[in-house]
């Protein structure tokens, strides 16, 4: 069985730090942080946990910056989303779940080119 290792992009790490800093005083940030931590554990036990994003809908930004060919979405409370990709690890028995972003719904819509109604 392959080992699953999770890594955060600089953008995701920045949001994660912000959530940690604000969790003690903000119920919303605490709720999102708790959900992120729970979803990370689910991804570690099943790397295909998230909803797959069609290859033609993967933002060019992610393809250029990270060279990804797959993308998964996990829904979080408050219409937030966590986006991750799977890559081969440094050894043959490792998969890396690379969290690219943890974003609110407005940024998610903009990143994927969806328009508000």
Q: What is the DSSP letter of 92?
A: T
- Asked, for residue 14, whether it belongs to a domain, the answer is yes
pLDDT tens for each residue of 11-27: 999 999 999 999 999 99
Q: Which helix (H) or strand (E) holds 38?
A: helix 27-45
How far is 16 from 101, CA to CA, in rounded Å? 10
Can you state the angle between helices 10-22 and 27-45, rounded to 10 degrees?
130
For residue 106, what is the domain's CATH number? 3.30.2310.20
- The mean pLDDT value for 56-65 works out to 93
Range of the domain at 102: 3-111
Number of domains in the chain: 1
pTM here?
A: 0.88
């Amino acid at each position: 069985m392959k080992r699953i290792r999770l890594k955060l992009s600089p953008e995701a790490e920045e949001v994660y730090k912000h959530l940690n800093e604000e969790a003690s005083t903000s119920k919303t940030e605490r709720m999102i942080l708790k959900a992120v931590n729970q979803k990370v554990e689910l991804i570690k036990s099943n790397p295909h946990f998230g909803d797959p994003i069609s290859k033609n809908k993967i933002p060019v930004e992610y393809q250029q910056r990270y060279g990804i060919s797959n993308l998964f979405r996990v829904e979080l409370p408050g219409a937030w989303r966590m986006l991750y990709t799977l890559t081969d690890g440094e050894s043959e028995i490792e998969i890396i779940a690379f969290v690219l972003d943890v974003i609110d719904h407005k940024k998610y819509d903009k990143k994927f080119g969806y328009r508000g109604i």
